[in-house]
Structure 1
Amino acid sequence: MARPRGKKRTAAEAAAKEPAKRGRVKRVRAPPRPTEYFPEKRNLEDLWFSAFPIGTEWENIDKIKEFNWNFENLERALEEGGELYGKKVYLFGSTEPQLLYVNGERKIVLIPVIIAVDCPFPPSDKIGINSVQRENEEILPMKAMKMAWVPYVPLEDRLSRIDSLKTKIFTLGCTQRRSALKHLKTERVKKFDYCMPYYMPLQPVEDEDDTVINFLYPLEPPIVDDFDWEMDDYEDFADQKVQDDILPEDEKEKFKGFLKEMVRERKRELKQAKEARKKAIDDMDPKEKEAFENIKFYKFYPVKTADTPDVGGVKSKYINRYYRSAHYLM
């Protein structure tokens, strides 16, 4: 008997019974990343931030970064064609709290300012420490507060050898580490809050013949006021404080003694300041004396930008009690 002939397998049946062949998985190319473009940094863009904001409380220094402040006016002044181009300048920073409009609301803003001193020599190597809360003024070497004039290196020169640079820009630097403040005594930390760059002008300042003292009398609450030793009478001044219920009656004599000692101390300070100025001028090199006779102060505020508040209405030429006022407000 003939064997039945087998049926021819269809292609579909053959494919179902045969093991699947492994095919190479095609790699899918990731779409190309868009090219990122960063704005080119200006040559002096970080100059203002290199100047230590002297006299600003440590806990407030970070508030300066709240806005992206811009000091292109300072940069232009130091670049070719600017008022300070090619001159030796010394820069220090400071801050001024002001009530400004921010996003339609009034808010206290800590405005950074930069003082540029146009002088071929450092204006001073000392720091003054003074405030209403402190009884006595201190004049200390900068290094006692870990400060010094530091050469500033523009961006385009930062790959050059430091010893070959001939920079004419110096900024006030401070090497005190904030992380180490917790190991310092409170009095030492507070000294930084009251620091001001010291400067002794050749010409007497206006208040050297001033007869007014600012005082803080330690009571609870303390008495903060002014006393003019030529215009005010000790007895009448104390009586008025008693009548205003500011000073207890049994504290009056002690208060008058306090005022008299403050006046004596101020007179001693004025006398010493005059003598120190005379000696400094007498001992000064003629070239140095000429430089200080022609010294100029420039005060820079940040320029207005789309993302910073407008400071145009609060600008002031006043610098501090030593430098007094700027010659030029920028």
Structure 2
Amino acid sequence: MRRPKSSAKKTKAASTSGANPSKGPTRGKRVKAPAAPKETMYVEEKRNLEDLWQAAFPVGTEWDNMDKLSEINWNFTNLESAFEEGGELHGKKVYMFGCTEPQMLEVNGERKVTLVPIVVVVVSPIPPSDKIGIKSVQRETEEIIPMKAMKMAWIPYIPLEDRDKEVVRLKTQIYTMGCTQRRSALKHLKIERVKQYDYCLPYIQPLKADEHEDDTVVDIMYPLEPPIVCDFDWELDELEEFTDRLIKDEELPEDQKDAFKEYVKEQVRERKRTQRQAKEARKKAIEDIDPETRAAFENMRFYKFYPVQTPDTPDISEVKVAYINRYYGKAHVVM
């Protein structure tokens, strides 16, 4: 006789739910051990203007020496604090450029020539210039050319805290001289073109005569082997006596006397011509300048910033000078 389905289900349920005496006690649920606490990582927060000094292209520094600037952990917190509230440059419109000064310094117990980075800040409502000067002792002539010819321009500086914002909405008061020339492309340029960057100087049109405009001294480099290198002052030196003295000192062969004298005369003529052209150019620039621009130039102030002394940097306290370059002259303030 067939059992009812209901009783079969009950029998099966009874057999599966009953305790099995042959098996041990039921194993409890595994509890995961608590993870070891992670060590807290502290990352130093970047300062808002930390890379400001690096944004200013080091004009006139040889490309091969650019990497040397990062060998020392230079600190320009003095530049940063000048732009913060209460600082001397806070809220002012400025134009900045970088440069370098080679100095004999003690680095890690060794005295060696070290490139010291410098930042020059020009307080002005207008750009100091859109031109660059190219001049060195090795170059006989001086060139004043547009900054864009050297791929340079005044670029707005954006503080770190504002770099995630739309640039069009930002109103910066800080502009730095930037250069878009790629180092990787230098190998495709002519040597003379690359050397131009080594001789670049930030330019500004002087409204007053500089200290060299009426200088009566010319640099002589007479082409011999080795060359004769000396200074000749056309007001104080008498050419005949000057030449005879060089012959007497066995620096100049006697058979080169006439050629040397003619060379010196040509150098003097060229120097006087250059001075005359500089005076005329300055005079014309002053005449053509509008009153507002002239007032801006007359009220410009130059600040020269050296790195701050830290335990990681060499002592530069004895090498600070106010002189900037032949166009800018001296800084009003040295920091």
- What TM-score, normalized by structure 2, do the two folds share? 0.87
- For residue 113 of structure 2, the aligned residue among 102, 108, 114 is 108
Paired with 2:48 and 2:71, the residues of 1 have a C-alpha distance of 23
The one-letter amino acid of 2:149's match is A
| CA spacing shift, 1:60–1:28, aligned 2, 3 Å | farther
- Map 1:18-37; keep pairs closer than 5 Å: 31-37=36-42
Paired with 2:56 and 2:314, the residues of 1 have a C-alpha distance of 21
Matched, 1:277 2:282: yes
Using the TM superposition, give the Cα deviation of residue 219 of structure 1 relative to its aligned residue in structure 2, in angstroms: 2.4
Q: Which runs of 5+ in 1 are unaligned?
A: 1-24
| CA spacing shift, 1:33–1:237, aligned 2, 3 Å | farther
Residue of structure 1 equivalent to 2:184: 179
Secondary structure of 1:171's partner?
Answer: strand
Conserved in 2, the CA contact under 8 Å of 1:92 and 1:115? yes
Conserved in 2, the CA contact under 8 Å of 1:211 and 1:230? yes
| CA spacing shift, 1:293–1:240, aligned 2, 3 Å | same
| CA spacing shift, 1:26–1:249, aligned 2, 3 Å | farther
Residue of structure 1 equivalent to 2:331: 326
Conserved in 2, the CA contact under 8 Å of 1:132 and 1:216? no
The one-letter amino acid of 2:121's match is A
| RMSD of Structure 2 on Structure 1 (CA) | 1.9
The one-letter amino acid of 1:51's match is A
- For residue 63 of structure 1, the aligned residue among 68, 86, 92 is 68
Paired with 1:255 and 1:33, the residues of 2 have a C-alpha distance of 80
Using the TM superposition, give the Cα deviation of residue 79 of structure 1 relative to its aligned residue in structure 2, in angstroms: 1.6
The one-letter amino acid of 2:99's match is S
Residue of structure 1 equivalent to 2:255: 250
Using the TM superposition, give the Cα deviation of residue 251 of structure 1 relative to its aligned residue in structure 2, in angstroms: 2.3
Residue of structure 1 equivalent to 2:304: 299
Matched, 1:163 2:184: no
C-alpha deviations, 1:201-256, integer Å up to 9, x for none?
A: 21111221111122322222222222111111222222222222222222222222
Secondary structure of 1:69's partner?
Answer: coil
Residue of structure 2 equivalent to 1:313: 318
Residue of structure 2 equivalent to 1:93: 98
- Percent of aligned positions with the same letter in both sequences? 65
Residue of structure 2 equivalent to 1:268: 273
Matched, 1:79 2:79: no
Secondary structure of 2:292's partner?
Answer: helix
Residue of structure 2 equivalent to 1:149: 154
Matched, 1:43 2:48: yes
Matched, 1:231 2:236: yes
Larger Rg: 2
Matched, 1:216 2:221: yes
Residue of structure 2 equivalent to 1:128: 133
Paired with 1:110 and 1:44, the residues of 2 have a C-alpha distance of 23
The one-letter amino acid of 1:120's match is P
Conserved in 2, the CA contact under 8 Å of 1:215 and 1:226? yes
Paired with 2:161 and 2:177, the residues of 1 have a C-alpha distance of 21
Paired with 1:227 and 1:292, the residues of 2 have a C-alpha distance of 35
| CA spacing shift, 1:29–1:268, aligned 2, 3 Å | farther
Residue of structure 2 equivalent to 1:205: 210
Conserved in 2, the CA contact under 8 Å of 1:128 and 1:198? yes
Using the TM superposition, give the Cα deviation of residue 80 of structure 1 relative to its aligned residue in structure 2, in angstroms: 1.4
Secondary structure of 2:212's partner?
Answer: helix
Secondary structure of 1:63's partner?
Answer: helix
Conserved in 2, the CA contact under 8 Å of 1:132 and 1:215? no
Using the TM superposition, give the Cα deviation of residue 153 of structure 1 relative to its aligned residue in structure 2, in angstroms: 0.7
Conserved in 2, the CA contact under 8 Å of 1:133 and 1:216? no
Paired with 1:232 and 1:28, the residues of 2 have a C-alpha distance of 95
- What TM-score, normalized by structure 1, do the two folds share? 0.88
Using the TM superposition, give the Cα deviation of residue 116 of structure 1 relative to its aligned residue in structure 2, in angstroms: 0.5
